[in-house]
Amino acid sequence: MTQANQGVPGAHVGHGHLMVADIERATAFYRDVIGMRVVLQYGERMVFLSFDDYHHHLGLNTLDSKNGTPPPKGHTGLYHVAFVLLDRATLGQAIDRVQSAGYVLTGAADHGVSEAVYLDDPDGNGLELYRDRPQSDWQIDDDGNLTMINVPLDVAALVEEGRASS
């Protein structure tokens, strides 16, 4: 009999690295549309970006992918990278930038614990932009399990909230 894994206290995902076809195009997207800042760049081979003063939340590189194409649908690989934003207004502002730049949302959902939108970056990498609700608002069932939902999200209301707080 095996014991259920209780996790690793203090561990968390620190950063991700994406292979991209065009470093300038990808950098412009994550900087100008998503709102990250460039921390360090190694020519046309590698860029490190962050939302704040952290060394990097995201690395972009063309080491094995310069001028490459996205993997075909139905193959293994990264489903999406999720970026947690501070609050509803910040999420609304990010959605506004995404749509103003001509990117199309591929989905939007209220999960009960969070509100999220989904899109693809210029290289076809899936992205989730979301904000968590306070844990005190999360629904827990009688057995102590987290209850999540998947219902439509009012994206227009989020964008309006973001614009109103600017």
Determine contact, residues 37/31, Cβ cutoff 8 Å.
yes
pTM score, two decimals? 0.91
Contacts of 81 (CB under 8 A, 6+ apart): 16, 18, 58, 125, 126, 127, 128
- Which residue, chain included where needed, has tokens 């990498």? 125
pLDDT of residue 154: 97
pLDDT of residue 43: 92
Question: Which ranges of the chain have pLDDT less than 70?
Answer: 1-4
Q: How far apart are CA 20 and CA 62, in angstroms?
A: 6
- Which residue, chain included where needed, has tokens 């490190």? 48
Determine contact, residues 123/88, Cβ cutoff 8 Å.
no
pLDDT, one tens digit per residue, over 68-106 is: 999 888 989 889 999 999 999 999 999 999 999 999 999
Domains of the chain: 13-67 (3.10.180.10), 79-166 (3.10.180.10)
Strand 46-50 with 37-42, pairing: antiparallel
The sheet carrying 114-120 orders its strands as 81-84, 126-132, 114-120, 107-110
38's tokens: 């460039």
98: helix, strand or coil: helix
